[in-house]
Amino acid sequence: MSATDHLVDANQQYVERFSGARPARPRLQLAVLTCMDARLDLFGALGLDIGDAHLLRNAGGIPTDDALRSLAISQRALGTREIVVIHHSECGMDGFDDGEFRAKLEQESGVAPSWRVPGFTDLYADAKQSIRTVRNCPWLPFRDDVRGFVFDVASGALTEVTAD
Amino acid sequence: MSATDHLVDANQQYVERFSGARPARPRLQLAVLTCMDARLDLFGALGLDIGDAHLLRNAGGIPTDDALRSLAISQRALGTREIVVIHHSECGMDGFDDGEFRAKLEQESGVAPSWRVPGFTDLYADAKQSIRTVRNCPWLPFRDDVRGFVFDVASGALTEVTAD
């Protein structure tokens, strides 16, 4: 039985206890950008419930063009006002060698990736840079309340990072 | 008190009941790509636990370059093998007018976005297309087990979508 089959089974039980539809517009008017890391349980770690917040996740929790696109839609079409950026300890993008990775992909597939892989070398410095990138994005109408945190995967604790 | 302050408070309680560190490599060797929508509680809807799976989320659950970058890292650096793509009913990207949105951003900010906003007009057709996009990505070493679903935000149920 594949992992995906297990998800399908679990979903059948979820449907039985499902508490019903919620509005599409996030109740907390909040969007959270963070890493895809399997150790980040955002509902648990942030006390979120269904319908509370948009959750955006990629490798590193990096404000890529795609993340900024999603944030623009979140604010302009679905009414969010606050943004939280969360990086975390033991992140796979910490110390990641973009050049080596892309060269390997090209060597194996015969096709160079059209994208870069933005790694970083200092977790806190990168978190600060990510906050600044979001604050400087000209397509986001609400940038006064952008805050950043580092999540410790060993303790579950958030530590706020200030960009200035 | 801002929404973000509420998250910080909730996190203090989370730390007290935190069950401890898990490995960075997802236990189910699984990556899930889905929408940022606030109504998707992936741990609940898919029966996931901390450490089980990489969770990638953007506006629409679309396999953008950024999502493919994240999937490549997930498989090559962190050992995942299966991929699940989940779109959902009542998605904000359903019927989204890319041209109108980008024109408005340029008009308001004076700067044209560097990115496009890929909307869609048929939820199931787009889910199929997303499965195909992932299966055709030359930088993913494991593409034999890519499955797609539509999540119903009114019932909590997953329905499988087959691409062929």
**Could you write out the DSSP letters of every residue in B1-37?**
--HHHHHHHHHHHHHHH------SS-TT-EEEEEE--
Cα torsion A36, A42, A46, A51 to 10°: value is 120
Is a pLDDT exceeding 90 seen at residue B98? Answer: no
Q: Which of A13-22, A36-45, A96-105 has the lowest mean pLDDT?
A: A96-105
Q: What average pLDDT does the segment A26-32 reach?
A: 98
Is a pLDDT exceeding 90 seen at residue A150? Answer: yes
Identify the closest residue of chain A to B17 by CA–CA distance: A156
Q: What is the pLDDT of residue B4?
A: 96
Is a pLDDT exceeding 90 seen at residue A140? Answer: yes
| Nearest chain B Cα distance for residue A23, angstroms | 8
Is a pLDDT exceeding 90 seen at residue B96? Answer: no
Identify the closest residue of chain A to B88 by CA–CA distance: A24
Contact yes or no for A4/B82 (Cβ under 8 A): yes
Interface size, chain A vs chain B, as Cβ–Cβ contacts under 8 Å: 251
Q: What average pLDDT does the segment B32-61 reach?
A: 97
Q: How confident is the model at residue B48 (pLDDT cuts 50, 70, 90)?
A: very high
Classify A64 as helix, strand or coil: coil
ipTM value greater than 0.90: yes
Q: How confident is the model at residue A143 (pLDDT cuts 50, 70, 90)?
A: very high
A43-62 tens-digit pLDDT: 999 999 999 999 999 999 99
Pairwise CB contact (< 8 Å): B158 & A66: no
| Nearest chain B Cα distance for residue A58, angstroms | 5
Is a pLDDT exceeding 80 seen at residue A164? Answer: no
Q: Which chain B residues contact residue A14 at CB under 8 A?
A: 44-47, 156
Is a pLDDT exceeding 90 seen at residue B20? Answer: no
Q: What average pLDDT does the segment B18-39 reach?
A: 96
Neighbours of A140 (CB within 10 A): 21
Q: In degrees, to the nearest 5, what angle opens at C-alpha A53 toward C-alphas B128 and A118?
A: 65
Q: Which chain A residues contact residue B101 at CB under 8 A?
A: 73, 76
**Which residue out of A69, A82, A160 would a mutagenesis test of the B interface target, given it has the greatest number of B Cβ atoms within 10 Å?**
A69
**pTM for the model:** 0.96
Q: Which chain B residues contact residue A72 at CB under 8 A?
A: 105, 113, 117
From B47, B69, B157, residue closest to A117, measured CB to CB = B69
